[in-house]
Amino acid sequence: MELTQVADSVYAVTQLGKPTVLGWSNSGLVDSGDGLVVDTFWDRPLTDELLGLYAGVRPERPGTLVNTHHNVDHTGGNSAMHGARIIAHANCAAAMQVEAGMHGLFQALADADPATLEPAQAALAEELRPFDHASVELELPTESVVEATELELGGTLVRLIPMGPAHTDNDMVVHLPEQNVLFTGDLLFNQCTPIGWAGTTQLWMDSLDAMVALEPEVVVPGHGPVCDTDGLLGLRDYFAYVLREARVFFDRGVAVDDACRQIDLGPYGEWEAPERLVFNVQRAYNEFAGDTAATIDAADMMSRAFALKPALKPAR
Q: Which chain residues interact with Zn ion by CB under 5 A?
A: 25, 71, 73, 186, 222
Report whether 288 contacts 280 (CB < 8 A): no
Give the residue from 167, 141, 187 showing the smallest Cα distance to 26. Answer: 187
Neighbours of 69 (CB within 10 A): 30
Nearest-angstrom CA–CA distance, 16 and 152: 31
Nearest-angstrom CA–CA distance, 11 and 32: 11
CB of 69 to Zn ion, least distance (A): 8
Nearer to Zn ion, 153 or 235 (CB): 235
CB of 121 to Zn ion, least distance (A): 21
Nearer to Zn ion, 73 or 127 (CB): 73
Nearest-angstrom CA–CA distance, 188 and 169: 15
CB of 66 to Zn ion, least distance (A): 15
Q: Which residues of 235-263 are buried (b: 16+ CB within 10 A; e: fewer)?
A: bbebbebbbebbeebbeeebebeebbbeb
Nearer to Zn ion, 74 or 283 (CB): 74
Nearer to Zn ion, 138 or 254 (CB): 138
CB of 300 to Zn ion, least distance (A): 20
DSSP 170: T
Nearer to Zn ion, 27 or 71 (CB): 71
CB of 276 to Zn ion, least distance (A): 12
φ, ψ dihedrals at 22, nearest 5°: -60, 130
Give the residue from 87, 97, 45, 99 showing the smallest Cα distance to 63. Answer: 87
Nearer to Zn ion, 26 or 107 (CB): 26
CB of 39 to Zn ion, least distance (A): 8
CB of 157 to Zn ion, least distance (A): 26
Distant-in-sequence, close-in-space partners of 120: CB < 8 Å, separation ≥ 6? 302, 303, 306, 307
Nearest-angstrom CA–CA distance, 273 and 75: 22
Nearer to Zn ion, 99 or 186 (CB): 186
Nearer to Zn ion, 47 or 179 (CB): 47
Angstrom distances, CA of residue 146 to CA of 71, 91, 92, 160, 171: 18, 9, 11, 10, 11
CB of 171 to Zn ion, least distance (A): 11
Give the residue from 263, 290, 291 showing the smallest Cα distance to 277. Answer: 263
Nearer to Zn ion, 73 or 245 (CB): 73
Report whether 164 contacts 203 (CB < 8 A): yes
CB of 261 to Zn ion, least distance (A): 27
